[in-house]
Chain A
């Protein structure tokens, strides 16, 4: 069966490819949204953290030859970096204007990118899927790369774990309450600074995880985080800032739009993402799942 010039199977495969790409966007977007929702901080170093995660993972893989070690270590290392950044830098800006943490993390992204250039060189490192995840499997509509399938499943598990964490734990309750109304958290007598520390580190760790997961798709370069930052912004604007479900929905949507455009009009792939955002801004400025009040 054909739809336009394309066989249905091909379109279906491209759709799954989109979901796999979307998995990366989902993880990056959730991290950004989490930090914003609770702390009203736009983390401009999010792309740099993404890149740092990829480098940590690829570097460790060179030593251990074990992708699973990298998969655990990269988010932990980047999360730890996030802890330091919150403690030493971001914390000093609480109570100042909302632009200040944004500006600070913007400067920080330069420092991180340049540090990686100093440590690992300017050119980047090629990186492929680990042997166990190479090849393709038949998923009924055709052969699909095993690694991309893994990406979908693994991300689904991470998102499910995050959902349980946010919905079922007392700490998650604080996050949800704080995202709705930050004053509530303060009134309840909870040590907000600890919550912010954890959330900032968690958001950064998710960026790091997304980085190592993306590494086998494209290799690593010091600049790989820059387009990701812009795309993560699209995900949060489309999904609705601070909404985790919105980040998931928008991340998948962006992935699918990218995959479909690269099939139909390859030249337009990069721009399609932003066209999607422009459309959402026109029709629903608060984002697909954003609350009206969160726009302030």
Chain B
């Protein structure tokens, strides 16, 4: 399943579907950005579009570990939260300009990811999910406890960024559409870098580790170090998503760091298709539109999200986008 959209030199048959896939894979960054650029015009409303953009990036960062390295982390909310709090604190308490504030959020997330990763990669296989979950709960309680800085239970409020002042121009973030495209610039840059990473020799090592950790070691790769680097990059990408989310929402709810939020990354990646490049965005859109729609019908929407997730695990583990890609590939060969 991994071939089609993981490497630009994609597999796929010689038929029309196969050619289409190869073309799509070669231009995956451009296509992703084109879809995202048009997205606000089809999304139910703009705030939801921004949510999907930001959480899509979160799911993408998470999926570097889950889909590409084969490591299931249940602690990524710590990085989303660290990015959000880092940015929020820099703006609220430090009075920083949004750009360095975003950088501060990413740095905080990266540092926390380095510490968590250093501890978590000492465990293998299924332990990894448990350890990351437990360590992220520790980060959650730490931020919960630091009330003067983080606002504790009430969350960090007052992250007001009405406009992004760039010297020559000032972009009014009050306008939801402007906000969407400003955030898209960050997400787009991250997606481009991310795609480069996956296509790089390092990306190849990640896939090798996912496929067969022992064989990767026998080939001469330092598996532990590679995993740690992947973990930190993944944390940094999720930290950027958190930083953008803080500016988008003007508040960081403590739930941003909660275990349930880590679970949402898992859900989005799996719903969309963890072995595909675009899958996490599809998953984020599906999850958030579903949640948005269900929430208007019932306050117990989590019952349905849980059941739908179970159904995907049982019957469609390759996810929505993964299935689309697989069908195209079959049609092509």
Contacts and interface: CB of A to CB of B under 8 A. Distances in A.
A271 B145 contact: yes
- Interface residue SS majority, chain B: helix
B51 interface: no
Given A117-B300, A237-B130, A274-B135, A282 B119 contact: yes
Given A111-B306, A114-B306, A271-B142, A104 B134 contact: no
B108 to A, nearest CB: 18
B300 A114 contact: yes
Interface in A78-94: 89, 92-93
A106 B263 contact: yes
B123 A295 contact: yes
A108 B310 contact: yes
B305 A110 contact: yes
Interface residues on A, range: 35 or more
A296 B217 CA distance: 14
Contact of A295 (B125, B130, B263, B309): B125
Interface string A217-245: 00000000011011001101100010000
A3 interface: no
B241 interface: no
B189 to A, nearest CB: 31
Interface residues on B, range: 35 or more
Interface stretch (A18-26, A95-103, A158-166): A95-103
Interface string B110-126: 00000000011011111
B232 interface: no
A102 B126 contact: yes
Contact of B141 (A99, A270, A285): A270
A96 B266 CA distance: 18
A110 B130 contact: no
Contact of A98 (B126, B137, B142, B266): B126
Interface in B280-331: 300, 302-303, 305-307, 309-310, 313-314, 317
A227 B127 CA distance: 18
B137 A227 contact: yes
B138 interface: yes
Interface string A234-265: 10110001000000000000000000000000
Contacts of B130: 42, 233, 236-237
B135 A115 contact: no
B300 A118 contact: yes
Interface string B176-190: 000000000000000
B247 interface: no
A113 B303 CA distance: 8
A110 B130 CA distance: 18
Contact of A230 (B122, B137, B145, B309): B137
Contacts of B305: 110
Interface in B226-274: 259-260, 263, 266-267, 270
A36 to B, nearest CB: 8
A282 B48 CA distance: 42
Contact of A267 (B72, B145, B309): B145
B90 interface: no
A199 interface: no
Contacts of A273: 138
B294 to A, nearest CB: 11
A227 B135 CA distance: 12
B204 interface: no
B133 interface: yes
A28 interface: no
A110 B307 CA distance: 8
A52 to B, nearest CB: 14
Contact of B134 (A93, A99, A115, A230): A230
B303 A107 contact: no
B303 A274 contact: no
A205 to B, nearest CB: 21
B122 A109 contact: no
A198 to B, nearest CB: 21
A197 to B, nearest CB: 18
Given A102-B72, A103-B270, A274-B135, A226 B259 contact: yes
21 contacts: A89-B310, A93-B314, A99-B72, A103-B309, A106-B266, A110-B306, A114-B303, A118-B303, A227-B137, A230-B134, A233-B133, A234-B134, A236-B130, A270-B141, A274-B134, A275-B138, A277-B131, A278-B138, A281-B120, A295-B123, A296-B124
Interface of A: 36, 40, 42, 89, 92-93, 96, 98-100, 102-104, 106-111, 113-115, 117-118, 226-227, 229-230, 233-234, 236-237, 241, 267-268, 270-271, 273-275, 277-278, 281-282, 285, 295-296
Of all A-B residue pairs in the complex, the 6 with the closest CB atoms, nearest first, are: A110-B306, A274-B138, A107-B309, A114-B303, A233-B130, A270-B141
